[in-house]
């Protein structure tokens, strides 16, 4: 079980499906204490050697959450998505136990609204977010796409021809295309922050921020 002294930084992850297991695994790689819980013993056994702690329990019952010490966690992730009823019950139980930060997975907008109304601090739509990201990448113009807000994104791409051989000041890209180049990666090197004097070459990768529609137009310029 997780040491009580560490529970301020530890995370309780409920549900070991693809999303929950990926979250728990990444937290473990970031050296965060993790207690993962699932009703399915096979999933618990599968992940017990890969993350800090994994236990089997039916946490739709508040008594089970109390037994595993959920009350002492500051942060919990409700990764149960296949059963809306279970997701709502677990979230409500965590609220009743006083867990401060509850991140809950939703499979629809209506599901998400219910989770918010009963006290979830953060509602996540992993399937919808993944679908939106893939849709942007399907054009072949973008190497990666992260939407921060509906009107702001950060994108990785190869620079259009208008940037090649010019500094960012010389290109005037911010004024003409309404996007900002925030990072540059030379072949074989790591990304570095871009400045007004950064010289862009055709073989570089760049990070660009701005409105998604402006970025899409910028990415479509000839390479």
Domain boundaries, the chain: 4-124, 130-219
pLDDT band at 6 (very low <50, low <70, confident <90, very high): very low
Assess whether pLDDT exceeds 80 at residue 162.
yes
Structurally, at CATH architecture level, domain 4-124 sits in 3-Layer(aba) Sandwich (3.40)
Q: Mention every residue, 6+ apart, whose C-beta is less than 8 A from residue 221.
A: 160, 161, 162, 177
Rounded to whole angstroms, the Cα distance separating 117 from 26 reads 28
99 vs 70: CA distance, rounded Å: 8
Query: What are the beta bridge partners of residue 184?
Result: 192, 206
* 150-161 pLDDT, tens digit each: 789 999 999 998
Each residue's pLDDT tens digit, 8-32: 588 999 999 889 998 998 888 888 8
Contact 187, 157 (CB under 8 A): no
CATH number of 130-219: 3.30.70.1450
| 143 within 8 A of 171, measured Cβ to Cβ | no
pLDDT at 2: 47
First-last CA distance in the chain = 55
- What pTM value is reported for the model? 0.69
75-128 pLDDT per residue, tens: 999 999 778 999 999 999 999 999 999 999 998 889 999 999 999 999 988 877
């Amino acid at each position: 079980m997780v040491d009580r002294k560490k529970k301020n930084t530890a995370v309780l992850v409920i549900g070991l499906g693809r999303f929950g297991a990926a979250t728990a695994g990444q937290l473990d790689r970031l050296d965060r204490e993790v207690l993962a819980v699932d009703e399915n013993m096979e999933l618990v056994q599968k992940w017990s050697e890969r993350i800090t702690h994994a236990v089997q329990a039916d946490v739709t019952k508040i008594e089970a959450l109390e037994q595993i010490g959920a009350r002492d966690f500051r942060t919990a992730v409700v990764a149960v998505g296949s059963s809306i009823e279970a997701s709502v019950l677990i979230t409500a139980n965590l609220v009743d136990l006083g867990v401060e930060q509850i991140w809950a997975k939703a499979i629809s907008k209506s599901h998400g609204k219910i989770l918010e109304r009963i006290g979830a601090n953060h509602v996540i739509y992993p399937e919808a977010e993944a679908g939106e990201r893939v849709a942007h990448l399907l054009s072949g113009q973008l190497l990666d796409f992260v939407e921060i807000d509906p009107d702001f994104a950060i994108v990785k791409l190869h620079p259009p021809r208008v940037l090649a051989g010019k500094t960012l000041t010389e290109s005037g890209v911010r004024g003409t295309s309404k996007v900002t180049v925030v990072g540059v990666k030379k072949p074989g090197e790591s990304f570095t922050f871009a400045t007004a004097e950064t010289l862009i070459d055709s073989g570089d990768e760049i990070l660009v921020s701005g409105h998604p529609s402006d970025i899409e137009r910028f990415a479509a310029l000839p390479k």
